[in-house]
Structure 1
């Protein structure tokens, strides 16, 4: 809809609000509205329009991976209040058990715990969520944070730093054939997922200060988290499946990916045409040598690592494309 701008006095310009919208939210003279500037537009909202969003989850009949899916969906979508219902005296395994693929990692594989303890462990994974009250059959959770552009920027930087940490430690383990470096990689990945989800939540609740970048940042976060998952998979293989194996035939591809990631992390915060050219050169050189390198791999262990590294290489290309798009 269009509205005419009216001059009132020497320095004041006003416009009328749509009458149906005013009636819907019962606005009268003196009512306050929020006005947010986004690029070349203004977004006007009322306190009622910003009312809390509420959701409910019933744990009965859900396995732990499915419970995680429900929690993450509610959290990422920006709900402010969540009621978790459960059977009295219900017992569950640790929610983190199913994030560990190997029996050797027993840190999170505790005995069954009460539903309240289970929800406590879940809530600790989601920034801003706190348990407010509980009874025999339900737990009330509320968001106690105040999402902002500053919080988004800080959390996004943390995501990048955690991916960088995972990559450096994984490459060090490959170079040295010392998998003990990676014993805490699961904790790093949980932390990465925590900040990733918080960024998604903020984008869904308030968007980005540069609204045109919102969708690009959704995609960027998805691929950064996916890169982290690939490094976690490599780390688990090194720790549990082929401990202290020989990976000399994948060192070249790992070194090229290491350089690309270092360039990308710098590129993200300071756009640089030369860095983009270098990322592309590395990719081109690797492309023509990758088939011969794969043929040189002598074991299934090397081929498995090779496979994950090639996936990471594709993700870096996509991340670079997204970064270029943000510039225009």
Structure 2
């Protein structure tokens, strides 16, 4: 498993160390690399590094064999939702091995499953059943050892650039699937078509967590843009959450305002436009999406004032999706800058 480790040499940045250029031969200048960086990455004479130029910045990157990262989580006394959040944090951070300590295998946890149709299933699970159910949700992770008061969870899948790219594309495709289901359900007045959207959103969460894990382990291929793409992916996840909430509402309370239906359908089209923009950046497309989103926002605000009580919640989610689209546009511009 490898990780890009980058050294930035920038002019006039006080926090960066200085190096003198050394003339070698007729037209060649060399610069020494920090000993601490060489040691940390186990580099030797003759090893290859990747060099990328960008304006007055030179990025030197190498691939090093990562030491296996281990984390211990003690879930004693914690509820199921808190256990999940602690595990998500460790998974996203990029730990290869997570040791989970628990009080007893016989402890029962309260589990709540909910669906788009607002039907909740409540059940109790013993410790290992709960942990098995949780670990299954995370790409590449498996329980490899189980003892009386702990278990070991390991990453058996690894991370790579290709897997990251595939997971990100799947997030987009799943969002467009949700959009398509919403649109078809409204056009056919068939709320039953919305019942599968909770599962689709769960898959978006799975691939989101995996993408964030990849970024924390390896960084983005344009290393300086890692925080930007991290925020971009989190925002895509929020779009999925809003679409799921909208589906939950519409499954029991169909829209009565025809203009809201039109606004929702048109705004959903912008999700596909964002997908196409991400893989084929064009300034005219940015402008078109921004203008269309702004116009739909004004129309939503106008309809919001005269909406029935039943339509208000849907309008609220429509407005939140609009704000998230604006955030995605801004982040996309930053990715291309």
TM-score, length basis structure 2: 0.83
Residue 76 of structure 2 is aligned to residue 60 of structure 1 = yes
The verdict on how the C-alpha distance between 1:13 and 1:94 changes in structure 2, with shifts beyond 3 A counting, is farther
Residues 22-49 of structure 1: CA distance to partner in whole angstroms, max 9, x if unpaired?
6x66979x799784556642234654xx
Q: Distance in 2 between matches of 1:26 and 1:104?
A: 53
Partner of 2:222: 210
- Give the 4+ runs in structure 1 shifted more than 6 A: 12-15, 24-28, 30-34
Partner of 2:136: 124
RMSD: 3.0
8 Å contact kept, 2:277–2:285: yes
Q: Distance in 1 between matches of 2:31 and 2:194?
A: 60
Partner of 1:317: 326
> Which of 98, 121, 142 is equivalent to 1:82?
98
Residue 296 of structure 2 is aligned to residue 281 of structure 1 = no
Count of residue pairs the alignment pairs up = 316
1:126 partner SS: coil
The verdict on how the C-alpha distance between 1:288 and 1:141 changes in structure 2, with shifts beyond 3 A counting, is closer
Q: Distance in 2 between matches of 1:76 and 1:233?
A: 24
8 Å contact kept, 2:116–2:195: no
8 Å contact kept, 1:38–1:210: no
Gaps of 5+ in 2: 1-16
Q: Distance in 2 between matches of 1:291 and 1:20?
A: 57
Q: Is 256-265 or 314-323 further displaced after alignment?
A: 256-265
1:82 partner SS: strand
8 Å contact kept, 2:106–2:127: yes
8 Å contact kept, 1:94–1:118: no
> Which of 281, 287, 293 is equivalent to 1:271?
281
> Which of 38, 49, 72 is equivalent to 2:88?
72
The verdict on how the C-alpha distance between 1:283 and 1:88 changes in structure 2, with shifts beyond 3 A counting, is closer
8 Å contact kept, 2:97–2:152: yes
Superposed, 1:128-147 pairs within 5 Å as: 128-147=140-159
Q: Distance in 2 between matches of 1:20 and 1:281?
A: 50
8 Å contact kept, 1:83–1:140: yes
